[in-house]
Structure 1
Amino acid sequence: MKIACHDLVDRMIEQEYPSLFSLYRTLHQHPELSEMEEQTALTLSTSLETAGYTVTTGIGGFGIAGVLDTGPGRTVLVRADMDALPVLEETGLSYASTETTVDWNGRSVPVMHACGHDLHMTILAGVARVMAALQDWWSGRLVLVGQPSEERVSGAAAMVRDGLYNTVGTPDALLALHVAAEYPVGTVIYTEGVSSAGAESFDLKIFGVGGHAAHPNKAIDPIVIAAETILLLQTVVSREIDPQAFAVLTVSSIHTGSKHNAIPGEVELTLNIRFFSPGVRDHLISAIERITASVARGAGVPEERLPMLTLLDESAPPMICDPALAGVVIPAIRAVVGEEQVIAVPPSSGSEDFGAFGAVDPPIPICYFRVGSVDPNSTHPPAFLHSGKFSPDAEGVIKNGVRAMSIALLALLGEERY
């Protein structure tokens, strides 16, 4: 039975690949930024509808959900993220993106699928076709989700808040995959337990008293305050967090001033933190608040002008891969792709908001894995995610991604037959 099912999946993939690659080219050529995925959502929802799924659109923005119900059994949700990045494509591909758009700050920017979300959507469409064709092999409810705004780590929570589970039912399990830019095609990479970091982003505004550069004694220079603050913040992880714990604190931008001979009245900074545990998160935030206020007070800034720290709606909890769920999914994939091709790795410092789909009451178990994207015959080192030169082996990723996710779903929805 196992070999017959595997063969059926592979036959379907080969049959559908030309059409899937055409879909991939379309998605790659016409990327859209987070919260702007209107045409992308339409393209993906049309593909799911054509495969026989009942599709609901406009969930949490441009989110979509396609449902195929074949009878009694589990409900399993598979997610693909849809948004692209403000990155200039430099791959040289014949179907490279030349799109530009106006971003959230009113700036004209290039747009590119530099994180593989075009591949994720294509794989979702392929899985939709395989699972529809193999309905006799499984029973249950399959929910395929196109998620907006993953790059701003806000789309998953927005879909849940907007009633996703009222529309499609509460899943018994959640699955997602991502391209792995550092592993060869054919490999599957996973982590049990905490698999990726939680993340928070902040805006920090430091106030001073502006003045003439020739008379600094008549001003309170916020640039000096900001410089001291930045250096002290770098001691938080090295001197306040347990060395055995994971933490990152990054000051990612600083903006101020407009004239060589003028001291500005304020400085705007952006900050980002990464963590594996809620306790570390809380400590980092408390330390940022303490240090920014203390440095400002030491410079003579009055209480009503102390720094303002704003937490953005771009938060992701640590993502936890459920061991029991992985205990079904990973062995099924390993049986098909081979023992040496399935690789367990330590947790990643990167973040992703897929975990928000499971952060409900009661929590829903998650299994998240990655598929290798590097052409093993390439003589050039691969470009990493978010690079304008990111150019994965599309055929290998699509075929292996559809295979791995379809096998995972058959293991969950058709265990007695698979």
Structure 2
Amino acid sequence: MTTSTQFDLKPQLIESMHQLYRELHASPELSMQEHDTADRLEQLLDELNIEHFRCGGTGVVGVLRNGEGPTVAFRADTDALPVAEATGLDYASKATGKLDDGTEVPIMHACGHDTHMATAITALRYLVAYSESWSGTLVMIFQPAEEIAAGAQAMVDDGLWDKAPKPEVVYGQHVRPSLAGTVSYTPGDGMAMADSWRVTLHGQGSHGSQPQDSIDPIVLGAHIITRLQGIVSREIAPYAAAVVTVGTFHAGLKENIIPDSAEFTLNIRSLKPRTRDTVLAALRRIIKGEAATSGAPEPTIEEISTFPRNYNDPDQTAAAVAALQQELGDDAVREVPPAMGSEDFGILASSIGVPSVYWMFGGHTQKRLESGQVPVNHSPNFAPVLEPTLTTGVRAALTVLMSKLGS
């Protein structure tokens, strides 16, 4: 099938998108600290005469009404990461910010949320300019704190769907390290659910020469961490994807002192709710059981974050894919396996019981992909090539939106 581009993306519109992208890339902000970003987005919405409101702290919601017709929503995330940029771009970020503990860190849009905002604003500019070609209502959600799985829930808790018209479907997209000019999708479970825990082991400290007087939390932790690796290999069916990762382990201050506590953090990923329940129950059983076997007090388990299910409704996905194939061509729209990365996007739709569709668009050239050195999301070298990345993002967004709103 050959492409049949239906959108007149004039050079001036594309250049303004590039300028906005560079501006956003150079001025990133950490999760739940996107104050200047929110101000800038509101300014851009004002320029387009689009009504808007704050939601979830630093979230911004624009409501574009254009007569009778369906109501749909589209999400673009806005936060950046504590990463020192190493791209060498002339618009590279030099920004810094503070973590919750006060530590000052460099900040970078290392996950491409700047592309999401730039393409979303450009889509709005197009829809305003060509209002005669569509009818209905678009709820454009600029969501904070996706990286810490807090922003979508914060917006819902702050009354997002009491303040904005309720949509019949919620759409979203994300840039990824695949071929620029292409779009990828996964029907059903598109991304993994994720749970992060902090586990504190309580022991009994002692001199290193008197281990008999201790309950050694380091030995206890070693047994737990080794045993946890058997969950996926021995308690989960081979066709049910799951990952259990221990990311940190901290204990003690000196080689001849057995400490009285140890701490480690866990990251758990799964695609199906039943698998998730099985893994989390096994984790608690093993952590508590090994502590009891060692004669130690029950460990303290704290939840750091949880990412929800990100489910692409099969019927809505099929409709979106058909439209994307018509616009971009069959070869440019590819079905891919579920990703074990995670997103909090799903909450926006599941909180009101409507379907959602989430797809990816590529950001690297074929030469870069063949180089063997491909910067992935969250890398300090992650820098999507401007074109055709951004234009594809706009065309994909407009294509799917117009498949519902086009008159």
TM-score band, normalised by shorter chain: over 0.9
Gaps of 5+ in 2: none
Partner SS for 2:374: coil
CA contact (8 A) 1:202 1:270 kept: yes
Aligned to 2:356, which of 355, 363, 366? Answer: 366
> Is structure 2 residue 114 aligned with structure 1 residue 124?
no
The one-character-per-residue Cα deviations of 1:359-415 (angstroms, maximum 9, x if unpaired) are 124x1111111111012344743211100011111232211100111111111112x
The sequence identity of aligned pairs, in percent, is 40
Aligned to 2:249, which of 248, 251, 254? Answer: 254
The one-character-per-residue Cα deviations of 1:69-120 (angstroms, maximum 9, x if unpaired) are 0111111111111000111110010111111111122212111000000110
Tell me the equivalent position of 1:306: 298
CA contact (8 A) 2:180 2:387 kept: no
Separation (CA, whole Å) in 2 of partners of 1:372 and 1:229: 40
**1:90-169 → structure 2 map (5 Å cutoff):** 90-169=86-165
Separation (CA, whole Å) in 1 of partners of 2:91 and 2:252: 42
CA contact (8 A) 2:139 2:165 kept: no
Separation (CA, whole Å) in 2 of partners of 1:266 and 1:131: 58
Letter in 2 for 1:191: T
CA contact (8 A) 2:364 2:384 kept: yes
Tell me the equivalent position of 1:275: 270
Partner SS for 2:9: helix
Gaps of 5+ in 1: none
Aligned to 2:365, which of 359, 375, 380? Answer: 375
Separation (CA, whole Å) in 1 of partners of 2:69 and 2:307: 31
Offset of residue 180 of structure 1: 1.7
Tell me the equivalent position of 1:80: 76
Separation (CA, whole Å) in 1 of partners of 2:386 and 2:212: 61
Letter in 1 for 2:324: I
> Is structure 2 residue 281 aligned with structure 1 residue 286?
yes
Offset of residue 294 of structure 1: 1.2
Partner SS for 1:358: helix
TM-score by length of 1: 0.94
Partner SS for 2:181: coil
Separation (CA, whole Å) in 2 of partners of 1:56 and 1:84: 22
> Is structure 2 residue 308 aligned with structure 1 residue 317?
yes
Tell me the equivalent position of 2:67: 71
Partner SS for 2:350: coil
Aligned to 1:52, which of 35, 49, 54? Answer: 49
Aligned to 1:352, which of 325, 334, 343? Answer: 343
Letter in 2 for 1:386: H
CA contact (8 A) 2:169 2:354 kept: yes
Aligned to 1:389, which of 381, 386, 389? Answer: 381
Tell me the equivalent position of 2:184: 189
Letter in 2 for 1:256: A
Separation (CA, whole Å) in 1 of partners of 2:234 and 2:22: 49
CA contact (8 A) 1:192 1:326 kept: yes
Separation (CA, whole Å) in 1 of partners of 2:378 and 2:108: 9
Separation (CA, whole Å) in 2 of partners of 1:339 and 1:294: 53
Aligned pairs, number:
404
The one-character-per-residue Cα deviations of 1:311-342 (angstroms, maximum 9, x if unpaired) are 23x21222111111122211111111111110
Offset of residue 150 of structure 1: 0.2
CA contact (8 A) 1:52 1:132 kept: no
Partner SS for 1:259: coil
Letter in 2 for 1:365: P
CA contact (8 A) 2:110 2:380 kept: yes
Separation (CA, whole Å) in 2 of partners of 1:316 and 1:368: 15
Tell me the equivalent position of 1:239: 234
CA contact (8 A) 1:90 1:388 kept: yes
Separation (CA, whole Å) in 2 of partners of 1:65 and 1:170: 13
Tell me the equivalent position of 1:11: 9
Offset of residue 260 of structure 1: 2.2
The one-character-per-residue Cα deviations of 1:176-223 (angstroms, maximum 9, x if unpaired) are 110021x21110100111111111111111110011112111111100
Partner SS for 1:109: strand
Separation (CA, whole Å) in 2 of partners of 1:376 and 1:205: 46
Offset of residue 286 of structure 1: 1.1
Offset of residue 357 of structure 1: 0.5
CA contact (8 A) 1:10 1:403 kept: no
Shift of the 288–11 alpha-carbon distance from structure 1 to 2, 3 Å rule, reads closer
Separation (CA, whole Å) in 1 of partners of 2:187 and 2:324: 15
Aligned to 1:180, which of 176, 179, 183? Answer: 176
> Is structure 2 residue 333 aligned with structure 1 residue 337?
no
The one-character-per-residue Cα deviations of 1:261-303 (angstroms, maximum 9, x if unpaired) are 21111111111111111111111111111111111111111xx
Separation (CA, whole Å) in 2 of partners of 1:205 and 1:353: 27
Offset of residue 45 of structure 1: 2.0
Q: Where has structure 1 moved over 4 Å in runs of 4 or more?
A: none
TM-score by length of 2: 0.96
CA contact (8 A) 1:275 1:318 kept: no
